[in-house]
Structure 1
Amino acid sequence: MEESKLSFVKLITSPSSPPNSSPILFLLTFAAFLLASFLLFHRRRRVYLLDFSCFKPPGHCRVPFASFEEHGRLILGDELGLFMLRVLEKSGLGEETALPVSAHYIEPVPVPTLAGSRDEAELVIFSAVDDVLRKTGVDPTEIDILIINCNSFFPMPSLTAMVVNRYKLRSTVKSFNLSGMGCSCGPISVGLAKDLFQANPSAGLALIVSTEIITSPAWYMGRERSMLVSNCLFRMGGAAVLLSSPTSHRRRSLPHPKYELLHALRTHTGAHDSSYRCLYQVEDSDGNLGISLSKQVMEFSAVALKLHLTRLGLLVLPWDEKLRFLASYFLPKNKKLAGSSSYVPQFRRAFEHFCVHAGGKAVVDGVQRSLGLTEQEVEASRMALHRFGNTSSSSVWYELGYTEAKGRVRKKDRIWQLGLGSGFKCNSAVWRSLRDVKGKEEEGAWSDCIDSYPVPLAP
């Protein structure tokens, strides 16, 4: 019996492999555990777009050309009034764009006030947020991340605090108020949300609001021509976007997402002084605050776009297009390899839909020429500009709304949102559709006019 017990003890205590292999096995196991933990923590978290809503201005804020001309002449005189009308006629805007209430007064000319700006912000932001919450059925208390970008209006408390107060968001919500970042900030907000999802695994829902408040200080009250151009282009607008991560989809009540975020890319050329100052907020000789628009703005935007496309192309283009592009870039004189000294990659092979920032007719024309896009591929940008004007960072969402309302989005389609803005910055968000989007159900801000678009535009 004693011998049996001794044999059993030896059996269970004896190593099953040579004595020297145990430390090696332990180190390999530990290294594999560390590698798995690292990959798990740093893996790319998928980001989905549940839905979005664009603000639809009320009818009493509409600004027909005749009213705009009359106001310009009465306030600034015939010469400047005629100048603004000519800018408006060449801008690509239509007769249905809208300005806030303060811009409709003639005499006495009201000085834009903080209260008026707040009223406009509440109208635009709350309308868009109410609609996207209604469409998705999301309870505001479930929102983990809140991001609002508005270029020129940044009150205290902030716009994010205004939303937190209105919708009674949790005290733990991570809120970010982005200002002074120009018309290209829409993709920046999306990229920030993606990074926050990555850094906070427990976060499941993010609300993004992109807007521009016209009342103050964006509305210029002086007489400098280069600063009056912004009054001709910018109009009321805003969009609310709900993003989600896989964590949030444990809730069965959430709708199936529309899109998955593939890329969020940013390019900044502000290190060059001329690029930095081509869109510059400054006071005129009379002390009126406004945005000075340089005549070289299209030149600097082309430089920023070229740098941006070099990076974006390596991410999204098919391999044969990448090789042709690289050959053209490094060997421009060898036409046999490059095909042309100015070869432009065929980005239509990477995307089915294009949402180019509707900053003005010249902006859309410039991007169309640079990329060799067809009229149908820039249709959404031109029609959004015609119907709503330059709505700053939210313009790419009006364009996506137009594409949806037309019933053109199909499963696996890829959408490119391109933002251009002061700094000078060029930013992109790339999405892939997860399902067909039915047009009549997704009209939103386009509900009263989508059947009349596209409309013919003046050359």
Structure 2
Amino acid sequence: MNINTRDSHAPYILACAHDVPETSYTQHEVCDNLGIKDGRIRSIFINSGISKRHLSIKEMAKSEPNAESHGEMLNRHEYSALELGANAINKCLTKIGKTVEDIACICCVTSTGFLVPALSARFCQSLGLSEFCNRIDIVGMGCSAGLNGLDAVKNWSVVNPGKLAIVVCTEICSAAYLEDGTIATSVVNSLFGDGASAAAVVSEPADKILPAGAVRLLDKLSLTESEGIGMMKFDWNDEQHKNSFYLSKDVPYVVGSKVEKVINRLLGERSLSVSDIDHWIVHSGGKKVIDSICINLGLTKNDLRHTRSVLNDFGNLSSGSFLFSLERLQNEKTANKGDLGVLMTMGPGAAIETALVQWAE
């Protein structure tokens, strides 16, 4: 579909890539390793739409599921986030024939560990990036943050045409696990996995040759439902001496009730409707969240096939989940030149982030 492209130098996502820990566990294995025998809790794991998750935990201690101290978990986050993130970045660069020397801007997204200096500075050191590399860190925005990171490098790319920017979402969710036997904690422990995803972004003249499957970033729109600010939160647990993540059972309904509003506004600015969108790349937030989005937007299971398959194979990967789905769509090679797509992420706030994209012509 031909739509009005307001800027001939609009940025493009050239390629995506990911990396996950070698160690993976089925949901049954996680339950067994955590010593979960309560049928209600086991059913939360088994009926989650997830077959397995990759975790940076080499061995789960059956007798001591909370054996790691808070400091040890933060150390594991730092080590694993840098390792997986670097691998995802290098895989992404290989796809477009670039090297780390070509990176002029790096945006690091994470919510599963806090570091000062932040990840961007540590990647500069570990990858050997230029001392003049522009750095952006987005910390604490949760599952929606990947699109915020993409928007940040999009804006940077507009004023730095031809220069390569990298977004890397690296989340070690298992470094934020806490086991206390409650239903609320079990929902979190049943859902999240570890992994990193990276995207290469550049703004170039329209006549520049682009790699097959390049995606043009057009519009971005956020919605924040302030009344839902307590529905997803990361708080300190005095009893366990660790941070713990809380996820309300009402999240799918809040997302569902607001998703039509934000999508209609995003598309309406270009006189588009849901039926005009060829591809939906949505955060793998959980089975109920995905079902709620489908119902409220009138989408089919096929529309969100990559979202569901990423959830099945990896669990909820927080900020980088949607890039896993976009990578699968690009690998599938079913998108045609000029096709329109919507990227969507959801997270604490309560926030829904959306973007309109178009496959390069």
Check whether TM > 0.5: yes
Could you say which residue in structure 2 is the equivalent of 1:391? Answer: 317
Distance 1:97 1:43, change over 3 A: closer
2:247 & 2:140 partners in 1: Cα distance?
Answer: 15
Could you say which residue in structure 1 is the equivalent of 2:196? Answer: 238
Moved over 6 A (4+): 247-250
- After TM superposition, the structure 1 = structure 2 runs for residues 374-385 of structure 1, keeping only pairs within 5 Å, are 374-385=300-311
Q: In the alignment, is residue 211 of structure 1 matched against residue 170 of structure 2?
A: yes
1:64 & 1:414 partners in 2: Cα distance?
Answer: 35
Post-superposition CA distance 1:123-146 (Å, at most 9, x none) = 310110111122212132222211
Could you say which residue in structure 1 is the equivalent of 2:148? Answer: 188
Distance 1:215 1:376, change over 3 A: closer
Distance 1:384 1:316, change over 3 A: farther
Could you say which residue in structure 1 is the equivalent of 2:229? Answer: 276
Q: TM-score, normalised by structure 1?
A: 0.71
Distance 1:65 1:255, change over 3 A: closer
Q: In the alignment, is residue 265 of structure 1 matched against residue 221 of structure 2?
A: yes
- After TM superposition, the structure 1 = structure 2 runs for residues 427-438 of structure 1, keeping only pairs within 5 Å, are 427-434=353-360
Greater relative CO (CA pairs within 8 A, separation 6+): 2
1:393 & 1:162 partners in 2: Cα distance?
Answer: 19
Distance 1:66 1:240, change over 3 A: same
1:107 & 1:248 partners in 2: Cα distance?
Answer: 60
1:412 aligned residue (338, 342, 345): 338
1:220 & 1:373 partners in 2: Cα distance?
Answer: 35
Question: Offset at 1:119?
Answer: 2.3
Could you say which residue in structure 2 is the equivalent of 1:51? Answer: 15
Question: Offset at 1:44?
Answer: 7.0
Could you say which residue in structure 1 is the equivalent of 2:349? Answer: 423
Q: TM-score, normalised by structure 2?
A: 0.89
Q: In the alignment, is residue 124 of structure 1 matched against residue 77 of structure 2?
A: no
Could you say which residue in structure 1 is the equivalent of 2:3? Answer: none
Report if aligned partners of 1:102, 1:116 keep a CA contact under 8 Å in 2. no
Structure 1 alignment gaps of length 5 or more: 1-41, 319-345, 436-459
Q: In the alignment, is residue 67 of structure 1 matched against residue 29 of structure 2?
A: yes
Q: Which has the higher strand share?
A: 2
Q: In the alignment, is residue 150 of structure 1 matched against residue 104 of structure 2?
A: no
Q: In the alignment, is residue 93 of structure 1 matched against residue 50 of structure 2?
A: yes
Q: In the alignment, is residue 220 of structure 1 matched against residue 178 of structure 2?
A: yes
| Residue identity in the other structure for 2:354 | S
- After TM superposition, the structure 1 = structure 2 runs for residues 306-455 of structure 1, keeping only pairs within 5 Å, are 306-318=260-272, 347=274, 349-434=275-360
Structure 2 alignment gaps of length 5 or more: 1-5
Distance 1:87 1:285, change over 3 A: farther
| Residue identity in the other structure for 2:250 | Q
Q: Which has the higher helix share?
A: 1
Q: In the alignment, is residue 305 of structure 1 matched against residue 259 of structure 2?
A: yes
Which protein is bigger by CA-based radius of gyration?
1
Report if aligned partners of 2:255, 2:292 keep a CA contact under 8 Å in 1. no
Q: In the alignment, is residue 173 of structure 1 matched against residue 133 of structure 2?
A: yes
| Residue identity in the other structure for 1:279 | M
Distance 1:205 1:312, change over 3 A: same
2:199 & 2:58 partners in 1: Cα distance?
Answer: 28
Root mean square deviation of aligned Cα: 2.5
Report if aligned partners of 1:205, 1:248 keep a CA contact under 8 Å in 2. no
Q: Secondary structure at the match of 2:136?
A: strand
Distance 1:257 1:400, change over 3 A: closer
Report if aligned partners of 1:235, 1:391 keep a CA contact under 8 Å in 2. yes
| Residue identity in the other structure for 2:298 | G
Identity level (%): 22
Q: In the alignment, is residue 161 of structure 1 matched against residue 115 of structure 2?
A: no
Question: Offset at 1:56?
Answer: 4.1
2:190 & 2:271 partners in 1: Cα distance?
Answer: 37
Report if aligned partners of 2:229, 2:348 keep a CA contact under 8 Å in 1. yes
Report if aligned partners of 2:171, 2:194 keep a CA contact under 8 Å in 1. yes
| Residue identity in the other structure for 2:185 | M
1:385 & 1:317 partners in 2: Cα distance?
Answer: 32
2:260 & 2:206 partners in 1: Cα distance?
Answer: 37
Report if aligned partners of 2:17, 2:199 keep a CA contact under 8 Å in 1. yes
Distance 1:292 1:103, change over 3 A: farther
2:304 & 2:50 partners in 1: Cα distance?
Answer: 15
